[in-house]
Amino acid sequence: MTDLVSETPLSDLMTGFASSGSPESFAKFLAAFRGSKVGVIAVGVESGSSGDVTSTAARPISVGLSGHGDGQPRVLAFADPLVFARRFGRPFNADMTGDALMKTALHNPRCVGILVNSAVSESSVTIDRATMASLIDLPSPQGVTVPRRPWWRFW
């Protein structure tokens, strides 16, 4: 017997979450998202570029924001990019891991989350800023460690 591997593993988890709505199915989706490559709209990348591209002060690169739905700025991501492109076209021009995308989105204070579009249906799952922040531990600027204040002190 041959094990069948889906060509849309992230989109399949999105479908599972949409049908159940359970915290467990969302947690499975988030775990898979963090390690998956997703399509993104890279802003500042020269047309025809390929390979790894690094954002620098001289050549800043960011990911595009969309106000889809409620008008709040979110990063658009495209699950299972090869299949997404085959089924719906290729609105994205780059790919990133979900983990790297969350780190990037958190650096933009205007960004309220990530809207992940499915490759199997015209549906999406939103990862809000609070969820991203709970998953990603960003270093403090210049390596400064700021001790957390106890909740009961007000200063």
- 118-141: pLDDT as tens digits: 999 999 999 999 999 999 875 544
Q: What is the pTM of this model?
A: 0.81
| Residue spans per domain, the chain | 9-44+62-136
CB atoms within 10 A of CB 152: 5
100-115: pLDDT as tens digits? 999 999 988 999 999 9
> Does the structural domain 9-44+62-136 have CATH classification 3.40.1350?
yes
**CA dihedral sign, ordered 39, 50, 104, 6:** positive
Q: Where are the beta strands (DSSP E) in 6-139?
A: 37-40, 42-43, 62-63, 65-66, 74-78, 94-97, 113-117, 124-128
